[in-house]
Structure 1
């Protein structure tokens, strides 16, 4: 399945976070000891004490994620894939009246699109309150047309997203659906349950033989999630391809999670960070993974 392929890509990136569950450090907040001139993630520009935006993630001295911005406007996001040293998945953002209206994801290998380039074109609309209310995604392999996915969104009384329903079409007929059921605790997403099954040709979902995956985001720190410096809409769409990334929408940083596919439990994973004096993460505790910011 396409989503399983993408999950593998993101899982590799997130493995860079997987260290001891011990969150203690010698210098827990003002951690400039190991980065004396790069207190905002190794950008060489000194500590940022005012507004900022996430620029890069660097793991083992290689860029794994890069966000191309002008001011606070995201123009492009680049994610390194694990299929090769020069293989990337790139999201290009289009705005209408100041809001993200389109996101196009494409592959790139050695600077060019591969023959069977996997392409996702997302078109996004909003309700009168500015919340996403509909998304249509057209997927293709190179010049071959693939599936079309239609997404609808549900929010609670406080405006937090609680459910996304995807209905997938092959040509004019519906073939499958996925429910993304979100649990919010405060300003963090603490649980995601996805349910995938078949539909009738008119889009009526079947309740039999559902494939269920449960993501338990069991704990967060009290610091600032660097992804919140970038547009939330982008990460809603990115998470539809990589459900583990729904935590990018949370206010704080994930410190423990586990994933369960149907009834098979997965091992719990702990994540650790070092922070700067403004409570932004600058690295994991081992300094293998670094966050780089740009001042605004």
Structure 2
């Protein structure tokens, strides 16, 4: 968990990325050129997130619904719907579980089932996850070994909303490993609280600890994430379903610095603070944004956002 905090120290020195050339979508249609100030007219979709050296995510659509996401190292997220609500998300590929900036060597697959309440709001996500590893190759004679199951886990996320604003207020996670011949029990928990400035997420506090017999123990790890100096333009992630954005944040246990994607606007300043330190000191990351002619953000925090017409 500490690696998250120290890795973020490196991000402070990250500068703006190089400009990118014109791109085509999967059908060969021209996309929004991020180097021009022309932009798209009419309905659009978020198509791709890229840096100067890599493609972080590509979004695919079935009509108006976002149906699949491909990401680094041939990872694939499939999204299924019941009507206009996401009912299931499945992932197969590689994650950065410790948030050190490098994808894990281990392969991960998970399935998340979404449950909604009478008001239509997402109330819980149940997840089954498997992690696999293999012996590495030894060039030039020995190939990598087969993928072998390393561990399995079950996780339950419960979401609650503010009674006054109806905004997401808290996510409680309970998780535990599945071991053969052992009755399953949740052994760890986290509780994440959300605060807002207007409609934008301004602060997220997440505490982690052990649990036993259904009872949460004492928090032993706690981080605070703050988002400020929001712009007044359009956040690219407003084009994605809210349920998918929550799933993306929950894809690893240390991904809360991405909580700003729940906001309609984009923060030019983010910070993370280890609240378990004797004297907590925030690590601050900042950026300047570029926008297209329709005021959609097109570049920030080292990422270029590519759009396509719907």
Note whether the superposition's TM-score is higher than 0.5: yes
Match of 1:257 in 2: 270
Once residues 80 and 12 of structure 2 are traced to their aligned partners in structure 1, the CA distance between those partners, rounded to angstroms, is 30
Flag the structure with more relative contact order, 1 or 2, with Cα contacts below 8 A and sequence separation at least 6.
Answer: 1
CA contact (8 A) 1:17 1:272 kept: no
Structure-2-length-normalised TM-score:
0.75
Indicate whether 1:191 and 2:203 are aligned. Answer: yes
Runs (4+) off by over 3 Å? 14-20, 38-44, 142-145
Aligned to 1:93: 79
Q: CA, structure 1 residues 61+155, in 2 after alignment: closer, same or farther (shift >3 Å)? A: same
1:290 matched to 2:297? The reply is no
Q: 1:179 to 1:55 in 2, by over 3 A?
A: same
Determine the structure 2 residue equivalent to 1:203: 214
Change (3 A) 1:119 1:245: same
Deviation at 1:117, TM superposition (A): 2.4
2:52 and 2:12 map into 1 onto residues whose CA distance is: 9
State whether structure 2 residue 48 is matched by structure 1 residue 56: yes
- Contact 1:125–1:134, Cα closer than 8 Å, also in 2: yes
1:155 paired residue among 154, 161, 166: 161
Q: 1:224 aligned to 2:257?
A: no
Report how far residue 220 of structure 1 moved.
1.1
Instruction: Provide Cα deviations, 1:134-173, integer angstroms capped at 9, x if missing partner.
Output: 1111111244551111111110122100100011123311
1:1-296 alignment runs, 5 A limit: 18-19=14-15, 40-42=32-34, 47-60=39-52, 62-80=54-72, 87-107=73-93, 116-142=106-132, 143-157=149-163, 158-171=165-178, 172-200=184-212, 202-207=213-218, 209-240=219-250, 241=252, 242-261=255-274, 262-263=276-277, 264-284=280-300, 289-296=303-310
- Asked whether the equivalents of residues 259 and 267 of structure 1 are also in contact (C-alpha less than 8 Å), the reply is yes
Change in Cα spacing, 1:252 to 1:141, as seen in structure 2 (3 Å) is same
**Alpha-carbon shift at residue 210 of structure 1 (Å):** 2.1
Normalising by structure 1, report the TM-score: 0.78
Instruction: Answer whether contact 1:175 1:198 (CA < 8 A) is retained.
Output: yes
Give the aligned CA root-mean-square deviation in angstroms: 3.3
1:265 deviates by 2.1
Contact 1:256 1:268 in 2 (8 A): yes
Closer, same or farther: CA 71–215 of 1 in aligned 2, 3 Å: same
Aligned residues: 262
